[in-house]
């Protein structure tokens, strides 16, 4: 009757009829919700539904012709309805403190009351504002963040459920209102979404560590408190990220850099805590402070940094070197390398790697590196550290702090000082060969000197390390001032081989008649090796300008003399004949070679270097070698003429080699442990 009467006095739209129906539903929900919340009887609940529903139905009918709704409005009203239902669900906890919580009917009443109020409020607000979908979503996110933050605070403070839900409801409502009012004035880009997501993760991670700020190692927080910290940290970071996004436009690279800096800060704090032996609580406190500090610093510095693909190699080098040095950091606490636990060593490596990574990132902003320069820096740093460690082991000291300190200090100093040096250096194949030979020669000299001085095993090991490192650095430095071919390098060190071989056999023979100590034998052998190296260097120097071919022939004469001497001496005396033959035959052969090659003339030839460069070797009347002036172009020489009057050199750049082969049992094929064989060889190249 009422409908037919009203339809004669008004022209209702389909939307108006729908709005009236929604008004009736909202009124019924409000009435039922009030009755259920008040825990009244069913007749009273139905009376409230009937009264409030009828009032809202009439109000909706009178208001419907004056309202218009868009799709955006429908989305907003739906969000308000659902948000009200969520908030209303926890409404009974505001005034009830039941042990098991309010009854389900009471919670249902709160949800119905909240949904009804949200529906009415949303429909009214929609007529006075034009909200975007993004604004509606932002309001919902604000409500969620507020609820999570309030609930997280309550769980973090270990409050009762009633108080926790009170805080969650009040903070959620306030955040919902603030987000709704602020939403029309905000804009977000995909970059902002990435930055906010990163901040939420950072907040959740650090929020999990919050309960340890006021608890000790023996009072671990509960899992509920951990969850509360995560919720509070994530929601607080979400709010901070939305505010920052309106004032900054953070590129993806800066987001990644700040994340890497955060990880580095955590790694440094965790490693430092392991080295220092902190407990769980202090470790997490240190990680919390270092992580937040490094993240803030990384975020502030990120807009001013730029990285290239080649910088990754630099940071990998510095991070690895830092891990190596950091692994020895626990020695400063315990005094001995073996006294540190595996956890402390790992912590030192973790802290060192993070410091090295930060140093590499800083260096990448001020220097332009390349693989060649990085290799040189790594070699100089390793050589300096090796020299420092060996020097510390040679010095009598009660523990391992001195060698570790010298290794770390000199290693870092060498790495830093190498930066201005590598701009003026260039290493080729022959330079690397010279450096390698210098490392071996230095280690041999250190061994001999330490044994000659009756040093302890620790000091002998230190001498080997120190002289090997020093030899490598010296060889690298010398290689920049000289120009040698591969053949010249091998013939240069052949003098050291001859000197050491002759002296070793001579002192061994002398030991049979006299009581020579091992130190004396080693000392004489080392000095003879140095003398041999000096003689071969003098022969190749500008003072004598002896061609490498001539030294190659002298080496062949020496090998021939050795073979003849052994053949004569071995049958005469079974005990020392072979050794005397080696000494006498080598000396006679070398002297004969020097005399015989003085009557030879050597033609020009082309020698191929290690690095593939064609280096022109001159005769004894001209410069020995010439470096290639331009990359990639090989210089050639005309083949020797048969009518030139000179003796063509088909054998050049030869050097002797000496090795020991253990005794072999002919029946089993295994080593017998008895007398072995001394094997002489020759290394060279036919041209």
For 434-454, write each residue's pLDDT tens digit: 888 888 888 888 888 887 777
Tens-place pLDDT, residues 240-256: 989 888 888 888 888 98
Residue 669 backbone zone (phi > 0: left; psi -120 to 50: alpha; other: beta):
left
CB-CB contact of 400 with 336 (8 Å): yes
What number of other Cβ atoms are within 10 A of residue 337's Cβ? 15
Residue 612 backbone zone (phi > 0: left; psi -120 to 50: alpha; other: beta):
left
The pLDDT of 1-10, averaged and rounded, is 76
**CA–CA distance, 256 with 27 (Å, rounded to integer):** 52
What number of other Cβ atoms are within 10 A of residue 454's Cβ? 11
Q: At what angle do helices 429-452 and 371-394 cross, to 10 degrees?
A: 0
Nearest Cα residue to 565 out of 491, 492, 525, 509: 509
Across the chain, mean pLDDT equals 81
For 680, the 3-state DSSP assignment is strand
Tell me the C-alpha to C-alpha distance, in Å, between residue 531 and each of 121, 505, 543, 553, 555. 102, 16, 17, 20, 16
Tens-place pLDDT, residues 359-396: 999 988 888 777 778 888 888 889 999 999 999 999 88
Where is pLDDT greater, at 99 or 173?
173
Residues 6+ positions from 257 with CB-CB distance below 8 Å: 298, 302, 305, 307
- Reported confidence tier of residue 482, pLDDT bands at 50, 70, 90: confident
Query: What's the maximum distance between 2 C-alpha atoms anywhere in the chain?
Result: 145
Comparing 66-75, 461-470, 621-630, which segment has the lowest mean pLDDT? 621-630
**CA–CA distance, 559 with 684 (Å, rounded to integer):** 13
CB-CB contact of 665 with 645 (8 Å): no
pLDDT at 621: 35
The pLDDT of 25-37, averaged and rounded, is 87
Tens-place pLDDT, residues 525-558: 888 888 988 888 888 888 888 888 888 888 889 9
């Amino acid at each position: 009757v009422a409908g037919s009467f009203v339809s004669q006095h008004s022209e209702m739209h389909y939307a108006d009829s729908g709005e009236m129906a929604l008004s009736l539903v909202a009124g019924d929900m409000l009435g039922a919700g009030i009755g259920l919340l008040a825990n009244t009887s069913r007749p009273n609940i139905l009376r409230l539904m009937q009264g409030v529903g009828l009032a809202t139905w009439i109000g909706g009918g009178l208001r419907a012709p004056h309202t218009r709704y868009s799709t955006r409005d429908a989305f907003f009203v739906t969000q308000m309805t659902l948000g009200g239902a969520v908030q209303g669900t926890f409404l009974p906890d505001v005034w009830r403190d039941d042990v098991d919580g309010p009854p389900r009917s009471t919670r249902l009443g709160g949800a119905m009351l909240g949904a009804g109020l949200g529906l009415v409020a949303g429909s009214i607000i929609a007529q006075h504002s034009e909200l975007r979908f993004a604004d509606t979503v932002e309001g919902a996110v604000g409500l969620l963040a507020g609820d999570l933050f309030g609930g997280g605070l309550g769980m973090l403070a270990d409050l009762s459920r009633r108080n926790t839900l009170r805080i969650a409801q009040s903070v959620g409502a306030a955040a919902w209102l603030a987000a709704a009012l602020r939403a029309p004035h905000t804009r977000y880009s995909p970059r902002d979404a990435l930055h906010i997501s990163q901040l939420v993760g950072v907040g959740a991670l650090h929020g999990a560590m919050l309960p340890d700020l006021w608890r000790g190692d023996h009072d671990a927080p509960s899992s509920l408190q951990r969850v509360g910290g995560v919720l509070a940290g994530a929601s607080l970071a979400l709010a901070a990220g939305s505010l920052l996004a309106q004032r900054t436009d953070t590129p993806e690279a800066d987001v990644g850099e700040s994340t890497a800096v955060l990880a580095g800060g955590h790694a440094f704090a965790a490693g430092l805590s392991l080295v220092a032996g902190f407990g769980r609580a202090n470790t997490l406190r240190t990680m919390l402070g270092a992580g937040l500090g490094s993240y803030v610093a990384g975020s502030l510095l990120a807009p001013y940094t730029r990285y290239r693909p080649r910088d990754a190699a630099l940071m990998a080098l510095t991070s690895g070197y830092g891990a190596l040095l950091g692994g020895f950091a626990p020695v400063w606490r315990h005094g001995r390398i073996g006294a540190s636990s595996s956890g402390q060593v790992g912590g030192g490596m973790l802290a060192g790697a993070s410091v090295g990574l930060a140093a590499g990132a800083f260096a990448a902003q001020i220097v332009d590196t390349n693989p060649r320069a990085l290799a040189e820096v790594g070699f100089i740093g390793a050589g300096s550290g090796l020299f420092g460690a060996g020097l510390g082991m040679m010095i009598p000291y009660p523990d391992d702090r001195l060698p570790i300190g010298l290794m770390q200090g000199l290693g870092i100093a060498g790495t830093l000082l190498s930066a201005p040096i590598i701009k003026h250096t260039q290493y080729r194949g022959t330079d690397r060969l010279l450096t390698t030979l210098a490392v071996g020669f230095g280690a041999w000299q250190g061994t001999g000197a330490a044994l000659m001085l009756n040093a302890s095993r620790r000091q002998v090991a230190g001498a080997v390390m120190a002289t090997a490192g020093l030899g490598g650095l010296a060889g690298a430095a010398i290689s920049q001032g000289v120009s040698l071919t591969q053949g010249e390098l091998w013939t240069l060190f052949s003098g050291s081989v001859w000197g050491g071989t002759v002296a070793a056999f001579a002192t061994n023979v002398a030991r049979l008649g006299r009581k020579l100590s091992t130190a004396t034998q080693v000392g004489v052998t080392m000095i003879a090796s140095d003398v041999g190296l000096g003689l071969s260097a003098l022969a190749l120097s500008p003072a004598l300008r002896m061609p490498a071919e001539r030294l190659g022939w002298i080496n062949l004469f020496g090998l021939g003399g050795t073979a003849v001497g052994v053949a004569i001496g071995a049958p005469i005396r079974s005990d020392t004949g072979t050794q005397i033959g080696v000494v006498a035959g080598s000396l006679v052969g070398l002297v004969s070679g020097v005399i015989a090659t003085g009557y030879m003339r050597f033609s020009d030839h082309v020698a191929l270097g290690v690095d593939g460069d064609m280096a022109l070797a001159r005769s004894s009347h001209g410069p020995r070698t010439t470096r290639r002036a331009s990359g990639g172009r090989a210089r050639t020489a005309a083949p020797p003429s048969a009518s030139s009057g000179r003796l063509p050199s088909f054998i050049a750049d030869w050097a002797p080699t000496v090795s020991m082969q253990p005794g072999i049992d002919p029946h089993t094929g295994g080593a017998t442990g008895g007398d072995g064989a001394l094997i002489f060889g020759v290394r060279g190249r036919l041209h």
